[in-house]
């Protein structure tokens, strides 16, 4: 199995246990598997061109023949992916199949298709009152999915070469990155446009199935390697995608308002990731630093309710907000960072609450009137930098960009700064010091690392970045009140990091997007979202404690006894150093 | 006693002026006195051995020297300056150590481990690191080059990118020495550098220690392997129950009846793999 262990499979390989079980299924390895898979794909895709539902109001409209809608197109895409893997398994794409565990990919896609079809038909039956409302197309596609799954279970994984050592030309690598980026942009725009919760859930299932299939096949090992190799291209591509996103929205503010919220959340989580992911400090009151920045932004704004008469230009406000936050970080950090982890968590938790109560009490009757107490500071005017008014729509190349799109670009800049700070600090003397502290604080101290200084720097630096984001948030939100900065928000920031992956940029962005986007799109689970997130986190802790996209080092830290993983990661590291050189 | 099968002790090489001076170091834990009024002087270019039965207080004494413990009484001076009992200040002043139970940064590569050792001799701070100016690149390059040089020096030049936790035991010991050397010490303290090593690795370790000494450093070694220590050291201190029992050349110490008694009297009669009890103790 060692050759098929990839980045995203679990460190402890439980396939070793599964294989004997699968071996007992009759027909495993039979020659019929491959043709069966092809037939499955044909039937699955064929079914999508027929209507799935009798009524036209379920999951968009599934009642029209020969006009597949989004839910059906997902199945077509999945079918095409399965076809490609089947052809790579045996057929014209054999050359690629040599490097991939194609059987595992077909298996995952088949099982994913079955789950997808069952849920889809279930929703149709439930919403329109009975199985009778399912049209033949739906049953045909389900049959195709079942055949594909059976084929996947019958196919035997062939011995394949490790994709880590695949030597590929740079045009292939760069075009892969471009295609992936384009898919991300297209997928994000599409997902945001989905109206109903059911379709969104199905889209999520589709994306997960394809991602898991690629992981199982080992494709992400190669993607991870080329991402390391072509880092500038990747970064440029990612920012191009993020930059182009507002242009796909046709001037609509609805999705852009969600996007800006995701961006604020992600930027703050990235700042927290310096504290938690790099320096290894548990901070449970991080939202207070965002709040401190927001209050500075509000108090120094042109709002009629602002209590301070000084109205500096915005760039100065950003700096003041960031410095004020950093100062709070220093004040709270210098007495507490000398003690070990648990105490820090409690102190920061209390600090978050103290901040909120203080802001609620600085209302003139309990203290100086700075924050207007629980009423907060409303009516914060939109930013205007030079002649650019953030409140007004602008038209660029015929595409109108509304108010939220304007803030989106500014927040993108802030996120870029935070990412830059994060990655550069990570790969520096300071970053090495942080790793050493996480590994063995005493040994680090005995080797001359300034443990306290580095911890305080992480704490204050993280606060600085959150303060910066906070000043923009004040203008974006129009009003600042104490109850926006409750403990739950800090907990969500931490959850984004744990879910996404400690110590990586991509992981935190994914985690933040999931945590912010899901409640927006799945309104029907809004009441249960805490329950669901709690459950997800428990499952993550059990099966993938390092998060979805974890750094090598963090993965190693979470699997102290896994020798095989350590050897594998060393091999990946060696290969990465080699391709970079 | 048949101590004749140990080769003759090395003649002390050119001994310079004192570099480390510990005066009246006492360490009490509640009612227990682990180290009692110990004096030790280490001269430039000297290898000093610290021996003693289990629980004699050798490692505690090391911890007092390196600032991990604050001695109850007494003081430690390095090149004439009194050392504050803070590990970092001790390293900055020029004294580095290794640990009895290896304490590497397990999830870092060999090179990164040694680069961490350079931390206190480099100065890139936040802004330099973020802006990546010429100073940063120069310093990072120099750190990397020095770390590689040290890995070559200890014989790990081929394992630069290996994870520390994947390395064989003997290599981990050597990596820890390289990491300590990276702090540019004047004096290096080695706490049982050959524990758990086979004879061949032990031989390599003693060669390495000679090379370290020849590069101008003073070395203090804690060991249980008597043959190893008597071959290696210019001077040996025998610590028993927290006190210095004997101090002298290896020849003097190994023929001292009190040393023999302390070891045999300690009842450590297990684990002799060769020779009489007093020639090679592997406790």
Establish if B179 touches chain A: CB-CB under 8 angstroms. Answer: yes
What is the C-alpha separation between A258 and A250, in angstroms, rounded?
A: 15
Tell me what pLDDT residue A294 has: 95
pLDDT above 70 covers a percentage of chain A that reads: 95
Q: Kindly state the average pLDDT of the residues A98-113.
A: 91
Mean per-residue pLDDT, B12-38: 84
Residue A228 has pLDDT above 90, yes or no: no
User: Which residues, listed in sequence order, are joined to residue A326 by a DSSP beta bridge?
Assistant: none
Give residue A550's pLDDT.
84
* Cβ separation B139–A447 shorter than 8 A: no
pLDDT at residue A24, as a whole number: 56
Confidence of residue B274 (pLDDT cuts 50, 70, 90): very low
Q: Is A423 on the interface with B (CB under 8 A)?
A: no
Overall fold of domain B1-94+185-283 = Rossmann fold (3.40.50)
Tokens 């670009």 map to which residue?
A409
Q: Report the half-sphere exposure of A274 (CA within 13 A, side-chain side).
A: 33
User: How many other CB atoms sit within 10 Å of the CB of residue A339?
Assistant: 11
Q: What DSSP designation does A525 have?
A: G
Q: Is the pLDDT of residue B278 over 80?
A: no
Find, in chain B, the residue whose alpha carbon is nearest to that of A457.
Answer: B126
Give the pLDDT band (50/70/90) at residue A21.
low
| CA A407 to mean position of chain CA atoms | 21
* Residues in chain B closer than 8 A to A447 (CB atoms): 91, 96, 116-117, 119-120, 179-180, 183
Q: Give, for B219, the enclosing helix (H) or strand (E).
A: strand B218-222
Cβ-based contacts of A560 with chain B (< 8 Å): 106
- Poorest-confidence range of A422-436, A457-471, B223-237? B223-237
Distance from CA of B92 to the nearest CA of A (A): 7
Nearest to B91 among A448, A556, A573 (CB): A448
Q: Cα separation of A153 and A158, whole Å?
A: 13
Cross-chain Cβ contact A573/B161 below 8 Å = yes
Range in A129-138, A365-374, A445-454, A509-518 the model is least confident about: A365-374
Q: What is the average pLDDT value for chain A, to the nearest integer?
A: 87
Contacts B177 to A, Cβ<8 Å: none
* Beta-strand relationship, B18-29 and B73-78: antiparallel
pLDDT score of B273 more than 70: no
Task: For residues A22-38, give the mean pLDDT.
Answer: 75
Does A18 have pLDDT greater than 60?
A: no
With beta carbons less than 8 A apart as the criterion, state whether B175 and B164 touch: yes
How far is the CA of B103 from the CAs of A310, A440, A498, B145, B198, in angstroms?
54, 7, 27, 23, 20
Give me the pLDDT at residue B270, please.
Answer: 44
Quote the CA–CA distance of B7 and B31 in Å, as a whole number.
42
Predicted confidence (pLDDT) per residue in B177-219, tens digit:
999 999 999 999 999 998 888 888 889 999 999 999 999 999 9
B89 touches chain A (CB under 8 A): no
B112-159 pLDDT, tens digit each? 999 999 999 988 888 888 988 888 999 999 999 999 999 999 999 999
Chain B residues with CB-CB distance to A556 below 8 A: 106-107, 163, 165
Q: Which two tokens stand for residue A137?
A: 């197309």
Inter-chain CB proximity A429 and B106 less than 8 Å = no
CA gap A156, A153 in Å, rounded: 8
DSSP string, A198-217: HHHHHHHHHHHHHHHHHHHH
Range of lowest pLDDT (A338-342, A344-348, A477-481, B211-215): A338-342
Non-local CB neighbours of B267 within 8 Å, separated by 6+ positions: none
Strands B187-191 and B218-222 turn out to be parallel
- CB distance from B117 to chain A under 8 Å? yes
pTM of the entire predicted model: 0.85
- A447–B107: do the CB atoms touch at under 8 Å? no
- CB contact B186 to A (< 8 Å): no
CB–CB contact A430 B92 (8 Å): no
- Which chain B residues touch A566 with a CB distance below 8 Å? 163, 165-166
Residue B265 pLDDT: 65
Angle (nearest 5°) at CA B256 between B255 and B261: 110
Res B268 pLDDT > 80: no
Distance CA B150, CA B96 (A): 15
Task: For residue B267, name the pLDDT band (cuts at 50, 70, 90).
Answer: very low
Where b means 16+ CB within 10 Å and e means fewer, A436-473 reads bbbbbbebbbbbbbbbeebbbbbbbbbbbbbbbbbbbb
Q: What angle do CA A235, A240, A241 make, to 5 degrees?
A: 100
Identify which has the larger pLDDT, A158 or A73.
A73
Contacts of residue A232, defined as CB under 8 A and 6 or more positions apart, other chains included, come to none
Q: How far apart are CA B253 and CA B261, in angstroms?
A: 12
pLDDT given for residue A23 in this prediction: 56
Instruction: Record the tokens describing residue B54, joined without a space.
Output: 């289990």
Closest CA relative to residue A519, chosen from A506, A507, A532: A532
Q: How far is CA A266 from the centre of its chain?
A: 9
pLDDT for the residue numbered B253: 87
Asked if residue B279 has pLDDT above 70, the reply is: no
Q: For residue B137, give how far its alpha carbon lies from the nearest alpha carbon of chain A (Å).
A: 10
Q: Taking a C-beta distance cutoff of 8 angstroms, is the pair A109, A85 a contact?
A: yes
pLDDT at B176: 95
Is the CA virtual torsion B34, B39, B45, B51 positive or negative?
Answer: negative
Cβ neighbourhood burial of A171 (10 Å; 0-12, 13-18, 19+): exposed
Per-domain residue ranges of chain A: 2-242, 254-485
The pLDDT tens digits for A398-426 are 788 888 988 999 999 999 999 999 999 99
Q: What average pLDDT does chain B have?
A: 85
Q: How confident is the model at residue A29 (pLDDT cuts 50, 70, 90)?
A: confident
Q: Which residues of A, range 450-509, sit inside 8 Å of B by Cβ?
A: 450-451, 457, 461
Touching check for A573 and chain B: CB below 8 Å?
yes
Query: Contacts of residue A440 in chain B, CB cutoff 8 Å?
Result: 103-105
Contact B116 A567 (CB under 8 A): no
| Candidates A432, A449, A566; nearest CB to B112 | A432
Work out whether strand B47-51 and strand B218-222 pair parallel, antiparallel, or are unpaired. parallel
> Smallest Cα–Cα separation from A285: which of A263, A261, A267, A268?
A268
- For every residue of A408-463, DSSP letters joined together read HHHHHHHHHHHHHHHHHHHTSHHHHHHHHHHH-HHHHHHTT--HHHHHHHHHHHHH
Q: For chain B, where do the domains classified as CATH 3.40.50.300 start and end? A: 1-94+185-283
The pLDDT of residue B6 is 44
Alpha-helical segments (H) within A218-340: 219-229, 231-244, 253-273, 287-299, 314-336
Would you give the distance in Å from CA B75 to the centre of its chain?
A: 19
Pairing of strands B95-97, A399-401: unpaired
Tokens of A279: 């320096």
Collapsed DSSP state (helix, strand, coil) of residue B89 = helix
- CA distances to A393, A406, B103 from A398, rounded to whole Å, are 12, 16, 62
**Burial letters A185-207, b for 16+ CB under 10 A, else e:** beebbebbebebebbbbbbbbbe
Q: How far is the alpha carbon of A446 from chain B, nearest alpha carbon, in Å?
A: 5
Taking residues B225-229, what's their average pLDDT? 84
Let me know: does A515 contact A548? Beta carbons within 8 Å.
no
**With bands split at pLDDT 50, 70 and 90, how would you rate the model's confidence at B14?**
low
Query: Is a pLDDT exceeding 80 seen at residue A193?
Result: yes
Nearest of B119, B168, B20 to residue A446 by alpha carbon: B119
pLDDT in tens, B29-57: 988 889 999 999 999 999 999 998 888 88
The pairing of strands B187-191 and B95-97 is parallel
A369 against A439, higher pLDDT: A439
- Encode pLDDT of A44-102 as tens digits: 999 999 999 888 888 888 888 888 888 999 999 999 999 999 998 888 888 887 888 88
Beta-carbon separation of A432 and B140 below 8 A: no
- ipTM for the complex shown: 0.85
Using only C-alpha atoms, chain A has a radius of gyration, in whole angstroms, of 26
Residue A493 predicted with pLDDT over 70: yes
pLDDT in tens, B157-181: 999 999 999 999 889 999 999 999 9
Pick the closest to residue B219 from B96, B103, B119 (CA basis): B96
Give the Cα separation of A421 and A259 in Å (integer). Answer: 22
**pLDDT attached to residue A274:** 93
């Amino acid at each position: 199995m060692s050759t098929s262990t990839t980045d995203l499979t679990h460190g402890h390989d439980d396939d070793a246990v599964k294989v004997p079980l699968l071996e007992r299924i009759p027909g495993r390895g039979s020659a019929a598997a491959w043709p069966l898979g092809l037939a499955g794909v044909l039937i699955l895709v064929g079914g999508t061109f027929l209507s799935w539902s009798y009524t036209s109001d379920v999951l968009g409209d599934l009642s029209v023949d020969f006009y597949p809608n989004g839910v059906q197109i997902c199945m077509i895409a999945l079918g095409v992916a399965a076809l490609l893997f089947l052809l790579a398994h045996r057929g014209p794409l054999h050359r690629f199949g040599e490097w991939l565990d194609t059987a595992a990919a077909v298996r995952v896609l088949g099982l994913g298709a079955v789950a997808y079809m069952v849920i889809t038909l279930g929703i149709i039956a439930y919403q329109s009152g009975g199985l009778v409302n399912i049209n033949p197309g739906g049953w045909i596609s389900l049959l195709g999915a079942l055949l594909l799954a059976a084929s996947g279970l019958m196919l035997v994984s062939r011995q394949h070469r490790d994709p880590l050592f695949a030597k590929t030309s740079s045009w292939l690598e760069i075009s892969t990155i471009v295609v992936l980026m384009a898919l991300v942009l297209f997928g994000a725009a599409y997902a945001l446009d989905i109206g109903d919760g059911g379709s969104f859930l199905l889209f999520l299932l589709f994306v997960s199935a394809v991602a898991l299939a690629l992981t199982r096949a080992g494709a992400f090992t190669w993607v991870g390697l080329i991402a390391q190799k072509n880092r500038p291209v990747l970064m440029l591509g990612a920012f191009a995608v993020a930059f182009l996103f507002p242009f796909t929205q046709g001037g609509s503010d609805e999705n852009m308002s969600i996007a800006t919220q995701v961006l604020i959340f992600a930027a703050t989580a990235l700042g927290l990731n310096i504290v938690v992911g790099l320096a290894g400090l548990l901070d449970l009151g991080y939202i207070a630093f965002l709040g401190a920045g927001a209050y500075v932004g509000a108090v120094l704004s042109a709002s009629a309710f602002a209590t301070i008469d000084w109205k500096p230009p915005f760039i100065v406000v950003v700096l003041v907000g960031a410095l004020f936050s950093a100062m709070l970080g220093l004040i709270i950090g210098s007495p507490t960072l000398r003690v070990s982890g648990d105490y820090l968590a409690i102190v920061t938790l209390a600090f978050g609450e103290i901040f909120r109560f203080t802001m609620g009490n600085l209302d003139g009757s309990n203290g100086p009137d700075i924050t207007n107490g629980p009423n907060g500071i409303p009516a914060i005017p939109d930013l205007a930098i030079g002649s650019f008014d953030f409140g007004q729509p602008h038209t660029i190349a015929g595409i109108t960009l509304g108010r939220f799109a304007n803030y989106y670009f500014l927040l993108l800049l802030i996120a870029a700064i935070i990412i830059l700070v994060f990655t550069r600090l990570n790969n520096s003397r300071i970053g090495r010091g942080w790793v050493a502290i996480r590994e063995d604080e005493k040994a680090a101290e005995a080797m001359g690392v300034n443990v306290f200084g580095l911890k305080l720097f992480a704490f204050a630096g993280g606060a600085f970045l959150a303060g910066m984001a906070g000043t923009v948030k004040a203008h974006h939100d129009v009003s600042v009140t104490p109850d926006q900065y409750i403990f739950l928000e800090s907990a969500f920031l931490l959850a984004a990091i744990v879910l996404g992956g400690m110590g990586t940029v991509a992981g935190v962005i994914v985690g933040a997007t999931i945590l912010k986007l899901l409640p927006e799109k799945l309104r029907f689970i809004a009441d249960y979202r805490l329950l669901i997130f709690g459950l997800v986190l428990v499952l993550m802790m059990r099966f993938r404690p390092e998060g979805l996209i974890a750094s090598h080092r963090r993965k190693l830290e979470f699997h102290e006894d896994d020798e095989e993983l350590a050897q594998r990661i060393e091999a990946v590291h060696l290969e990465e150093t080699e391709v970079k050189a | 006693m048949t101590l004749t099968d140990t080769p003759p002790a090395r003649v002390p090489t050119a001994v310079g002026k004192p570099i480390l001076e510990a005066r009246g170091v006492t360490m009490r834990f509640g009612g227990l006195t682990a180290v009692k009024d110990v004096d030790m002087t280490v001269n430039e270019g000297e290898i000093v051995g610290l021996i003693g039965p289990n629980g004699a207080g050798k490692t505690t004494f090391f911890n007092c020297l390196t600032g991990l413990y604050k001695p109850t009484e007494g003081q430690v001076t390095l090149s004439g300056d009194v050392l504050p009992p803070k590990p970092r200040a001790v390293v900055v002043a020029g004294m580095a150590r290794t640990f009895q139970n290896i304490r590497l940064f397990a999830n870092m590569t060999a090179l990164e481990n040694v680069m961490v050792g350079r931390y206190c001799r480099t100065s890139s701070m936040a802004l330099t690191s973020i802006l990546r100016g010429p100073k940063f690149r120069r310093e990072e390059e120099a750190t990397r080059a020095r770390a590689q040089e040290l890995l070559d020096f200890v014989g790990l030049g081929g394992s630069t990118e290996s994870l520390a936790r994947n390395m064989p035991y003997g290599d981990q010991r050597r990596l820890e020495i390289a990491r300590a050397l990276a702090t540019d010490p004047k004096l290096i303290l080695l706490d049982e550098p050959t524990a758990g090593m086979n004879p061949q690795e032990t031989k390599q370790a003693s060669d390495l220690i000679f090379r370290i000494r020849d590069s101008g450093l003073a070395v203090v070694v804690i060991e249980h392997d008597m043959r190893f220590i008597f071959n290696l050291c210019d001077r040996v201190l025998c610590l028993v129950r927290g006190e210095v029992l004997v101090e002298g050349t290896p020849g003097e110490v190994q023929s001292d009846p009190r040393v023999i008694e302390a070891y045999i009297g300690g009842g450590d009669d297990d684990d002799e793999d060769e020779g009489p009890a007093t020639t090679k103790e592997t406790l």
